[in-house]
Chain A
């Protein structure tokens, strides 16, 4: 049974939540408290899987509460349920909250979000890792991407398209923006999968504030420990392009691109989690022996796919993306449902790119059974052709001066 903590200074809200979520009483242990202090006391009593808090409260506001929760109980998913309409408010919660919901929020929506977060726990059944990932508020991005973004935003007359072109090259930036745009604040209801759309939704002004006033894009590459970001970044970008080509002309093209870009985010998450808290994040230190404990279970059950999916999940990215990322190595594990094309494409592209890049045995990882079930053979053949074309074009591009 998941333990969920609700914090709001308004008794009416707590009553309302208690009543409306009453049906979940058999699945969740729900605790309702009226202040941050009480919330912390409850957490002391027993850790919670999830905290849902109001933002503006006397004495200790939501941001402060979440900061303490992040420090003390990093594995606890942190969700904001606020009636605040100011942009500023969401920026303040950015470093501490995993997801944002806006009042008034449908009980169904709230239940769905809580439910999803709880299920993520099942996905990554590894406490130290969950704590490490829970403490992450951003991912390391390449300095040149950040610099380009800053310069572009600072230039007068910059268009959203230019900014979008920069953001969609960097997985870390993209993930953060997708997290923002899928928050309740923007009312997209957690279904926004296009990076370009995300940029458009957020707008230049907010992006400027994000880049200049907050630290969310300032995570240095060193935060990923010893990991070399460049090959990962290159692979992500190639995947993204290939995915877009797979779905060229389709509505799914942008989601496919985003998925390609972020599918391996787990590698960086893992590296960052292993590297421990990076200075400024101020999160709970992971015991020095933790690295060993973190590495230890990285076996066949828990790989970067799960880690990445877990992060995307607690950050509130669309479920479809989380699922695709989760299963991109072992698609058969996913229960068969209507449209698995994205997952199939991701799985295929990952395997094909590996083989194109001459990675030995990559082709063998193709889950042919799944693919046979999910997509027609002709489509698979088409994808293969596109991948070859892409690889050739890429070689041609690299050979150009």
Chain B
């Protein structure tokens, strides 16, 4: 991922660089460049044209200056163009080009000035040139045949010839011709000097000045022409052109450099992009792979979940955020007894047991509001009429932001558990009866022992008495026969009585009978108590004398506490209490036995006798039973555990830990009463059973 970030960063950098390069690159604007080049080229041609026309004008081949005007206009235009250096030229070169252009411009300006002088000179020379031959002709025509005139004519012809030579000479350096013409003129001058007053002197004088003008004018004109032609316009233009070409070349070079750089950048970019693409592809592939993996995982997880949910023995369902069921597993379907699709949404509600309908829905709604995970016990009735007791739990599923996505719920079929619990109660009852049996056996064995002893005694005593009576009869018979005298009879009777231990028998036989009866009474009380305690299983609550029941229970439990604690009963007035008497006896018994054990443990070292107090009273429409012991109390740490099933502080094998759990179950679940405990560590505990006297509600519930 880091490499991809790096590649992306590099790409972005390159793109920025390329963008900068593109922006900084002056575009080779073809139009500007062409105009510039055209102007340059035009100026060169114009310059050449100017020179050509100048020569043509100089040599009178051209008599108008129109071409020059056009040339000048075009040149000015071209110069304007040259002032606009195309953008492609670099800054340094631009200045050089501008300098060149300015130089050209000043040269052209200078040429214009020179040309103006040329034009005026040319006008003078042309005038002389046009006039001179004509004036010579006129003069010649007026000349006579005198010598002066002939001399003049000859000089005039010489002048004409030399002027013509000047005018027509091809030589660039026409000094010779000038000198010839000037000497011809001087000869005329000479002539004039010799022939002052000649009618034609004036005309000759004018002719001489024209000749001088022509010669000197032509020289000047030639001079100007040479200057004009020597003006380095073409050079300047060439230089400018060169500079420009160089500049353009540089620009092209730069442009090419840019292009190369751009190519390079583009290449790099391409590489980077390719790399990035590769990275991306790899990333994408790994992502895809991971997605595939995750998808597979998810699918696996989903499958596992489905299998788990399907295989779970607990009913599982899922709802969306609104609480509509979206999934149920097999076990949940089995509980509601509805086909899978009919459980969805709120379809499951139809499977609720009618009596649990309202309560369950209230619980259901309240969950959404409070996110309470309190389990709820309710019943479902399957379409085939089975009732299932169910413990429902619901937990909200939150997303990362804590919003509720839906709920996961479990339905635990506790029908069997409830049945087992009830069986367990029965088993515990049997167990405690079994344990009691040993104690009860002892309680019964004792009276049986002395009843048996007494009976033996009575039997033996009766035997002795019979012997004695027989002796009496014998004595009486002997007395009657007269074979025995009274004193002897008296001695014999006394001896017989002594032998039979008559006094002892008479003293003790009635007591022995009493003892026997008492013993039998005790046995029958115990047996009756056993029966009362065990109480044949009731299906419904029945009103019972709780005090009597407690006495029975205490009787059969007597062996459990007899040597451990003194028992005090303070039984108050109680109306008949609606209850399941057998179960309630069981609860009382369990608590009493526990009390006895608590005292035994507490007094183990001292061997002292403790006290168990059982009180009953009527209070707030409840029958209240207090069972208080003087044991060591319940440590705070375990006080809330003592009613838990299987919780025991007794040694392994000494208790199942069911006693108080069952007492609680009996009092709270079966009788809708309460079982509470107060404890004073070091001085004892008091368990209080409260059973509502108004058992009607309980009754109806149990009947339902």
A residues in contact (CB < 8 Å) with B: 10, 12-13, 15-17, 19-20, 22-23, 56-59, 61, 82-86, 102-107
Assess whether B452 is in contact with A104, with CB atoms less than 8 Å apart: yes
Contact of B457 (CB < 8 Å), options: A10, A20, A103, A106: A20
A103 to B450, CA, bound (A): 9
The 4 residue pairs across chains A and B that have the minimum distance between CB atoms: A16-B453, A83-B445, A16-B450, A19-B457
| Cβ-based interface call for B529 (8 A) | no
Residues of A within 8 A of B438 (CB): 84-86
Residues of A within 8 A of B562 (CB): 56
Within 8 A of A (CB), among B605-645: 607, 609
Assess whether B442 is in contact with A13, with CB atoms less than 8 Å apart: no
Of all chain B residues, the one with the shortest Cβ separation from A61 is B563
Residues of B within 8 A of A16 (CB): 449-454, 457, 512, 515
Residues of A within 8 A of B453 (CB): 13, 15-17, 19-20, 107
Q: Report which residue of B447, B457, B508, B563 has the largest number of chain A beta carbons within 10 angstroms of its beta carbon.
A: B457
Contact of A103 (CB < 8 Å), options: B446, B504, B515: B446
Of all chain A residues, the one with the shortest Cβ separation from B607 is A59
B residues in contact (CB < 8 Å) with A: 437-438, 441-454, 456-457, 460-461, 501, 504, 508, 511-512, 515, 518-519, 559, 562-563, 607, 609
Assess whether A104 is in contact with B449, with CB atoms less than 8 Å apart: yes
Residues of A within 8 A of B519 (CB): 12
Residues of B within 8 A of A59 (CB): 607
Contact of B448 (CB < 8 Å), options: A22, A85, A104: A104
Residues of A within 8 A of B607 (CB): 59
Q: What are 9 of the A-B contact pairs (CB < 8 Å)?
A: A13-B446, A16-B515, A19-B508, A19-B512, A20-B456, A58-B609, A86-B438, A103-B445, A104-B449
With A12-B518, A15-B515 known to touch, is A85 a contact of B452 (CB < 8 Å)? Answer: no
With A15-B450, A15-B515, A107-B456 known to touch, is A22 a contact of B442 (CB < 8 Å)? Answer: no
| Contacts across chains A and B counted by CB atoms under 8 Å | 90
With A15-B515, A22-B501 known to touch, is A10 a contact of B452 (CB < 8 Å)? Answer: no
Assess whether B452 is in contact with A102, with CB atoms less than 8 Å apart: no
With A15-B511, A15-B515, A22-B501 known to touch, is A83 a contact of B457 (CB < 8 Å)? Answer: no
Residues of B within 8 A of A15 (CB): 450, 453-454, 508, 511-512, 515
Residues of A within 8 A of B441 (CB): 83-85
Q: Report which residue of B443, B456, B460 has the largest number of chain A beta carbons within 10 angstroms of its beta carbon.
A: B456
A13 to B453, CA, bound (A): 8
A22 to B559, CA, bound (A): 30
A46 to B438, CA, bound (A): 36
With A12-B515, A83-B445 known to touch, is A22 a contact of B454 (CB < 8 Å)? Answer: no
Assess whether B563 is in contact with A58, with CB atoms less than 8 Å apart: yes
A373 to B154, CA, bound (A): 228
- The prevalent SS among residues of B at the interface is helix
Shortest Cβ distance from B347 into chain A, in angstroms? Answer: 53
Residues of A within 8 A of B446 (CB): 10, 12-13, 83, 103
Residues of A within 8 A of B512 (CB): 15-16, 19
A105 to B450, CA, bound (A): 9
Shortest Cβ distance from A178 into chain B, in angstroms? Answer: 25
Contact of B445 (CB < 8 Å), options: A17, A23, A102, A106: A102
Residues of B within 8 A of A84 (CB): 438, 441-442
Of all chain A residues, the one with the shortest Cβ separation from B508 is A19
Assess whether B448 is in contact with A56, with CB atoms less than 8 Å apart: no
Of all chain B residues, the one with the shortest Cβ separation from A83 is B445
Contact of A106 (CB < 8 Å), options: B443, B451, B452, B461: B452
Of all chain B residues, the one with the shortest Cβ separation from A110 is B453
Residues of B within 8 A of A104 (CB): 445, 448-449, 452
Shortest Cβ distance from A82 into chain B, in angstroms? Answer: 8
Shortest Cβ distance from B433 into chain A, in angstroms? Answer: 14
A12 to B448, CA, bound (A): 10
A192 to B142, CA, bound (A): 210
With A15-B511, A15-B515, A58-B609 known to touch, is A20 a contact of B454 (CB < 8 Å)? Answer: yes
Assess whether B515 is in contact with A22, with CB atoms less than 8 Å apart: no
A107 to B443, CA, bound (A): 19
Residues of B within 8 A of A58 (CB): 563, 609
Of all chain B residues, the one with the shortest Cβ separation from A16 is B453
Assess whether B450 is in contact with A12, with CB atoms less than 8 Å apart: yes
Shortest Cβ distance from A63 into chain B, in angstroms? Answer: 12
Of all chain B residues, the one with the shortest Cβ separation from A14 is B450
A106 to B448, CA, bound (A): 11
Contact of A83 (CB < 8 Å), options: B449, B451, B504: B449
With A16-B515, A22-B501 known to touch, is A56 a contact of B442 (CB < 8 Å)? Answer: yes
A20 to B504, CA, bound (A): 12
Residues of A within 8 A of B461 (CB): 19
Of all chain A residues, the one with the shortest Cβ separation from B442 is A83
Q: Report which residue of A15, A23, A58, A106 has the largest number of chain B beta carbons within 10 angstroms of its beta carbon.
A: A15
Residues of B within 8 A of A61 (CB): 563
A86 to B508, CA, bound (A): 34
Residues of A within 8 A of B451 (CB): 16
Assess whether A22 is in contact with B504, with CB atoms less than 8 Å apart: yes
With A61-B563, A86-B438 known to touch, is A103 a contact of B454 (CB < 8 Å)? Answer: no
A17 to B450, CA, bound (A): 7
A86 to B436, CA, bound (A): 11
Assess whether B563 is in contact with A103, with CB atoms less than 8 Å apart: no
Q: A12-B519, A85-B438, A107-B452 are in contact. List 20 more A-B contacts (CB 8 A).
A: A10-B446, A12-B518, A15-B453, A15-B511, A16-B454, A16-B512, A16-B515, A17-B450, A19-B456, A19-B457, A19-B508, A20-B452, A22-B501, A57-B563, A58-B563, A82-B442, A83-B444, A85-B437, A85-B441, A103-B448
Q: Report which residue of A57, A59, A82, A85 has the largest number of chain B beta carbons within 10 angstroms of its beta carbon.
A: A85
Residues of B within 8 A of A13 (CB): 446, 449-450, 453
Of all chain A residues, the one with the shortest Cβ separation from B450 is A16
Shortest Cβ distance from A224 into chain B, in angstroms? Answer: 35
Shortest Cβ distance from B485 into chain A, in angstroms? Answer: 31
Shortest Cβ distance from A56 into chain B, in angstroms? Answer: 6
Contact of A19 (CB < 8 Å), options: B437, B454, B559: B454
Residues of A within 8 A of B442 (CB): 56, 82-85, 103
A82 to B439, CA, bound (A): 12
Shortest Cβ distance from B26 into chain A, in angstroms? Answer: 104
Assess whether A12 is in contact with B563, with CB atoms less than 8 Å apart: no
A313 to B512, CA, bound (A): 33
Shortest Cβ distance from A101 into chain B, in angstroms? Answer: 10
A82 to B453, CA, bound (A): 15
Shortest Cβ distance from B429 into chain A, in angstroms? Answer: 19
A57 to B563, CA, bound (A): 7
Shortest Cβ distance from B311 into chain A, in angstroms? Answer: 34
A22 to B475, CA, bound (A): 27
A12 to B456, CA, bound (A): 14
With A12-B519, A58-B609, A84-B438 known to touch, is A105 a contact of B454 (CB < 8 Å)? Answer: no
A23 to B441, CA, bound (A): 29
